[in-house]
């Protein structure tokens, strides 16, 4: 039987808040940092 991979909790590089995953993209609910964006 297949098991879904378990990934460790990621933290925001700016404020160390635990990231939320929104539609497959990690985002920070505190400072609005978005993984993969370089314009912010």
**Where in the sequence is the domain holding 39, given as residue range(s)?**
9-40
For the chain, give the mean pLDDT.
85
The pLDDT of residue 26: 94
| Entry pTM | 0.65
pLDDT of residue 35: 93
Q: Which pair of structure tokens corresponds to residue 5?
A: 């991979």
Please report whether residue 40 resides in a domain.
Answer: yes
pLDDT recorded at residue 30: 97
Domain total in the chain: 1
Alpha-carbon span 32 to 29, nearest angstrom: 6
Residue at 14 is within a domain: yes
How far, in Å, CA of 26 to CA of 40, rounded?
14
Q: Note whether residue 1 is domain-resident.
A: no
Query: Would you state the pLDDT for residue 37?
Result: 78
Positions in the chain short of pLDDT 70? 1, 3-7, 39-40
Residue 37 resides in a domain: yes
Question: Does residue 3 fall inside a structural domain?
Answer: no
Is residue 2 one of the residues assigned to a domain? no
């Amino acid at each position: 039987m297949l098991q879904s991979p378990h990934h460790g909790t990621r933290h925001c590089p700016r404020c160390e808040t635990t990231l939320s995953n929104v539609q497959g993209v990690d985002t920070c609910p505190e400072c609005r940092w978005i993984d993969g964006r370089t314009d912010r």
